[in-house]
Structure 1
Amino acid sequence: MNIIDKVNKVKYKIKSFFIKNYSFLFGLLATVASIIVIYDFLEKKYINIYGSNTEDIQVLNLTLIPHRYFLDKEIISTNLKVRNDFYATANILVTIKNYSDKKVFISSYTIKKDKDLMSTATSGGKFTIDINPHKSTLQTINAGEKKTFFLSQGINLKKIMPFFNTKDFKDAIYFKHDDYYMISNTNSIKAFNNYIDKVYNDSKIELFFYSNYKKLIKIYELKLSDGYAIANGDGKFDHGSFLAMIHAIKKDEYDYGKAIYLEKR
């Protein structure tokens, strides 16, 4: 048998297979097509109900904002010393930009972090979103615009408190410009990042932002130890501003109300 005969024989076998199994193959293709259609339908339905992560919503900056009594384990209340729930606690101030062509509403959020970073202290107010949508102040971000707001749940920073007595921290000089706190020594930022990595097993933070009632619109992940000297829109922590605020607290020059500078962001 020559090569041409062999090829013809193979072609005949293939043709015979398809003729004999036509019904089966047709049914298989129809089943696969149905599964794809159903999956596509369910996926759209799921997204419509629960939402999905979108690249049109981008986190630009995050800043740890310490409470005015950040360094005080106790405070005076009605002439009595009481435990300060905001000791070593800071709230995250986040700036988000809407790159879509539609208005976006952020109604709530959730956060995942190491247990050592968890705090029971919470804050509220006009520019604050909460884990519970009923307790949140709805944040509206118009198309192409950005918005800065607080996350209600505090971050426990007790493990980093010794850093504020180190030479790396003390050598830094802080100043304010238009109510924005800044620090002069960028080496302090590197030392602070390294210190965070040293004292926390895992400094990763995951943020989930929702619109409507728990409809996911953004997932954002970063490390607390990945901070910069000044906010530059790259989605990192502005640790320069945070350390400058701690310097101001130590010198009794901290203005908590102006520190949030929300209208100027």
Structure 2
Amino acid sequence: MEIKKITLFLIGLVSFLSGAISLYTFSDQKFTDIFGSTDDNIQITKMQLIPSSDFFKQKSDFYADTNIAITARNFGNKKIQITSYTLDIIGDKSLIGGNIALGKNILDEDAKKSNSIFIEAGEEVTFYLSKSLSLKKVMPFFETSSFQESIYSHYNKDFYLLHNVDITPKFNQYLLTTYHNATLNLRLFTGYNKLIKDHNVVIADGITMFENTGKFQHDVFLAKAYAIQKGDYDDSNRFK
């Protein structure tokens, strides 16, 4: 009688575990089918530093602070939902800013508070991170002749351009001297903390607006900083 009970118990246990494993596999498969959530499907094509109009005002809480714009492309055939992120600095922690942004196109670190970002199959979307970066250590760069003597154009509401092609490598060198190889580790999540993208970028390895390799397009940021100095910056389009 005892042997029969033990046998029935073991059969029941095996059936339960098999069902649980099947359910887990099915759920995970369905989750991926719905959200297309793989690291290969979503690629970050560009990043930009976005200054506020108070970027140069030393008494402002936003002095030297920049927000981060992320442009990501969905190379899969299913819609992707991004629900939260983490951003860590590997290296100089003084890069961590003190301001938090909120809004429709702004991703929060907490999935329960964040506005989800949806990227349709084959589409590219730009969104913003709630955390800011602080560039206080490199503010002297904006007083150099390399920056001050830039040739500048403002073409429309939010398109600013510096024509001197060497401005990005010069800024990169200044960043490298100041922050060395400080690296930003960005992780994007779907659902509730399901990792779909792990992206590292060295802040001193910036590129131009003509490149889409997932690094910071520093010439875009520098042109906006120049516009702020000249009183020609429209802050209302910062998160659009």
Give the TM-score category using the shorter length: 0.7 to 0.9
Quote the sequence identity (%). Answer: 36
2:227 is aligned to 248
CA distance in 1, matches of 2:168, 2:159: 17
Q: Which amino acid aligns with 1:258?
A: N
1:121 is aligned to 99
- 1:182 aligned onto 2:158: no
How far did 1:231 drift? 4.5
Deviant stretches of 4+, over 2 Å: 176-179
* Residue segments in structure 2 that go unaligned for 5+ positions in a row: 1-20
Q: Which among 110, 130, 155 is matched to residue 152 of structure 1?
A: 130
**Given that residues 53 and 219 in structure 1 are in contact (C-alpha distance below 8 angstroms), is that contact kept between their aligned partners in structure 2?**
no
Going from structure 1 to structure 2, the CA distance change for 1:137 and 1:216 (only over 3 Å counts) comes to: same
Q: Which among 91, 108, 113 is matched to residue 135 of structure 1?
A: 113
CA distance in 2, matches of 1:64, 1:256: 14
Deviates more, 1:153-162 or 1:112-121: 112-121
- 1:232 aligned onto 2:211: yes
Q: Deviations over 1:150-203 (max 9, x none)?
A: 001000110110000011111212222332222111211111000000011432
Is the helix fraction higher in 1 or 2?
Answer: 1
CA distance in 2, matches of 1:245, 1:127: 20
2:46 is aligned to 61
Q: 1:98-113, aligned counterparts within 5 Å? A: 98-113=74-89
Q: Which amino acid aligns with 1:59?
A: I
How far did 1:136 drift? 1.3
CA distance in 2, matches of 1:216, 1:119: 24
* Residue segments in structure 1 that go unaligned for 5+ positions in a row: 1-40, 75-83
TM-score computed with the length of structure 1 as normaliser: 0.74
Q: What is the number of equivalent residue pairs in this alignment?
A: 211
**Given that residues 68 and 256 in structure 1 are in contact (C-alpha distance below 8 angstroms), is that contact kept between their aligned partners in structure 2?**
yes
TM-score computed with the length of structure 2 as normaliser: 0.81
Q: 1:159-198, aligned counterparts within 5 Å? A: 159-178=137-156, 179-198=158-177
SS of 2:232 mapped into structure 1:
coil
CA distance in 2, matches of 1:173, 1:111: 34
Q: In angstroms, what is the RMSD of aligned CA positions?
A: 2.4
**Given that residues 57 and 63 in structure 2 are in contact (C-alpha distance below 8 angstroms), is that contact kept between their aligned partners in structure 1?**
yes
Larger radius of gyration: 1
**Given that residues 52 and 238 in structure 2 are in contact (C-alpha distance below 8 angstroms), is that contact kept between their aligned partners in structure 1?**
no
CA distance in 2, matches of 1:231, 1:150: 20
Q: Which among 189, 201, 204 is matched to residue 210 of structure 1?
A: 189
SS of 2:48 mapped into structure 1:
strand
